[in-house]
Every structure is written in C-alpha cells, then in structure tokens.
Amino acid sequence: MFTAATVLAIIAIALAWPIPIALANASWPSRAPGTALALWQSIALAGGLSMIGALLCYGLIPFGDSLLSGLGTLATHALDGVPEGVGLDHILALTGAMLLTFHLLMNLLATSFRSERQRRRHHQLVELLSDPLPDRPGTRVIEYAAPVAYCLPGATRSVTVLSAGIMQLLTADELQAVIAHERAHLRQQHPLVLVTFKSWRSALPWFPIANRSENAVALLVEMLADDEARHEVDDLVLARAIALAGTSGHPELAVGIDPEQAPVVDEVDHVDLVTPRVRRLVNPLPPLSVGSRAMVLATAISLLLVPTTLLLFN
C-alpha cells in the first residue's frame, strides 16, 4: 500500500504541475485538436484519481494490504473507534481523501446546476427577444448592433444565435461559416466539455492542471468546430469570419444576462481564441501523423489505466 501511495502521489504531482504546463505550451495540439482534447481529459481524470488514491492508500496502510481489504477493515472498525497502530497521519490522509472527493463532486454538481439554470433563462430571453432566421431552422436573430454569434445548447432544443450586427458585417459565405462553426459546437457537445473543465478550475484554481486545462480546452474545441466548418466553406472565408466576428465580446450582454452568471458558451475570459485559429487557417500545418496520434492516445489510455490498476491490484 505504501508503494502504491507513493507512485500515485508522484503521478498526481506530475499531472498537477509539469505535464499540463508542458502540454499547454506545446505546438502540436493545433495539428490534432481532437487527440489533444482526449489527452487533456485523461490528464484531468487521472490527476483527480491519483490525488484521491494516494491519500486513500496511505490512510489505509494500517487496515490492510490492499485497497479493498483496507476499506473492508475500515468499515468493520468504523463504530469501534480507532484501532491500534493507526496514526494521526493516516487519519488525516483518509479525511483528506474524503474531503477532496466531496469537494470535486460538489463543484461539478454546483457548476453544472448553475450553468443549466442560466442556460434555461438564456433560452427564455432569446425566445422573447429574437426572431427565427428564415430557411435556417434552429437559428435566431437578436436586434443587437455588435457582431455576436454563439450556440445555446439545451436538453430538448438547441439554438444558434446571431445578432443583426453580425449579419450586416459578414458576407453570405462568411455567415455560413459562422453558423457551421456554432452548430459543430452543438453536435460535438462542446458546452458540456467546457462545463467539466470549468468545474475543475473552480475546485482547484491554484493548480496548473485546472487553469491551464480550461484555457487550452477552450481553444481546442474552437479548433474542432473550425475543422467541421471547413467542410462547408473555404479556409480563407472561415478565417475572415473568425477575424471579424471573433472579437464580439460577451454575447450574454445582448440578452441582458450578468456576465458573471452567464452559461458556458464558446469563449473564456483573458484567452485569445481568435489569433491562433486564424493563423492555423491562413498558414495551415500538416496534420499530426497517424503514428503520433496513436502514441498520444495510447498515453491518454495509460494515464487512466496506471492509477486504476494501482488502486485495484496493489
């Protein structure tokens, strides 16, 4: 158990600090955004599992030789008081594991609840303040001078919202690029992905794994939506549309929602989601090779398997 706790602690530290910093600074994710997103998700899950697992394994050392036997013995002694040989460090480790688990789960539930509540309110306001765009089902137009375009997911209905300003600013092809981009967000469930990483940052704001991952993932989902839009429009048309519409500001202001309480859409504060995407379209690099993608995916799977194996079979 001590060996498992030590290895899990090393993995947790690596995934909380140097690895996310290195990945956030890497140049290859723009060449394979879907693969990079899978790796970020693996890092987040494995990091949380390793942090909790390290504390749990160390705390259970006096109770058994494995996680399952230790939990069984702990449950047996739960009402009998602290057994002999259990030190304060073990009690603190077990308490830390329980508190960290509770903290992460509650942050995820609270973030999801707030996002869903504000999303429903946003839907209601959009229905009241906008008109449907002819010949484009699921697209609505708000009378707002600034160039705004965003997607608004929902459990039963999703909508793409455009402002009058953006429709006046863009050509027909550029507008088609923007609509294709926003609908790609909805098809690929990007708002749900962003909510989970927003929750991770809210729970552990001091760790690079949290703040670096949210920023990096926000850019990756934009690139993934761009790649979907590229099937419908030319790269340069899409680049112009991004450059013109990408600095539109806070879309929630168009319908009178407090920016601090707005649901997750396709932007993150203080992160440039425009320049890297335009550069990627104007000066495209070759996609990451199949072998390199397979190696990254194998790494992502390994990151999940190693802590799981240590916990179940140590």
Beta strand extents in the chain (DSSP E only): 130-132, 139-142, 149-152, 159-163
Residue 254: pLDDT band with limits 50, 70, 90 = low
pLDDT in tens, 22-53: 999 999 999 999 999 999 999 999 999 999 99
Closest C-alpha to 15, from 307, 308, 313, 310: 307
Residue 210: pLDDT band with limits 50, 70, 90 = confident
State the Cα–Cα distance between residues 310 and 49, nearest whole angstrom: 11
Question: Are the C-beta atoms of 130 and 161 separated by less than 8 Å?
Answer: yes
- The more confident residue out of 155 and 290 is 290
What pLDDT score was predicted for residue 266? Answer: 46
Q: Is the pLDDT of residue 267 over 90?
A: no
Residue 255: pLDDT band with limits 50, 70, 90 = low
Phi-psi region of 188 (alpha: psi -120 to 50; beta: other; left: phi over 0): alpha
Question: Are the C-beta atoms of 262 and 250 separated by less than 8 Å?
Answer: yes
| First and final C-alpha spacing in the chain | 7
Q: Mention every residue, 6+ apart, whose C-beta is less than 8 A from residue 280.
A: 30, 223, 226
What pLDDT score was predicted for residue 268? Answer: 53
- The more confident residue out of 208 and 105 is 105
Question: 10 Å Cβ neighbour count for 7?
Answer: 18
Q: What is the mean pLDDT of the chain?
A: 89
Q: Is the pLDDT of residue 80 over 80?
A: no
- The more confident residue out of 32 and 263 is 32
What pLDDT score was predicted for residue 252? Answer: 53
Paired sense of beta strands 159-163 and 149-152, if any: antiparallel
CA dihedral 209, 212, 214, 218 (to 10 degrees): -140
What pLDDT score was predicted for residue 256? Answer: 54
Mean pLDDT of all residues in 121-150 = 92
Q: Is the pLDDT of residue 259 over 60?
A: no
State the Cα–Cα distance between residues 287 and 239, nearest whole angstrom: 18
What pLDDT score was predicted for residue 264? Answer: 47
Q: Mention every residue, 6+ apart, whose C-beta is less than 8 A from residue 148.
A: 142, 161, 162, 163, 165, 166, 245, 248, 249, 251, 254
pLDDT in tens, 87-133: 889 999 999 999 999 999 999 999 999 999 999 999 999 999 999 99
Question: Are the C-beta atoms of 79 and 112 separated by less than 8 Å?
Answer: no
Q: Is the pLDDT of residue 18 over 70?
A: yes
Q: Is the pLDDT of residue 159 over 90?
A: yes
What pLDDT score was predicted for residue 74? Answer: 84
Residue 77: pLDDT band with limits 50, 70, 90 = confident
Radius of gyration of the chain (CA): 23
Q: Is the pLDDT of residue 260 over 70?
A: no
Element (H, E) at 215: helix 208-229
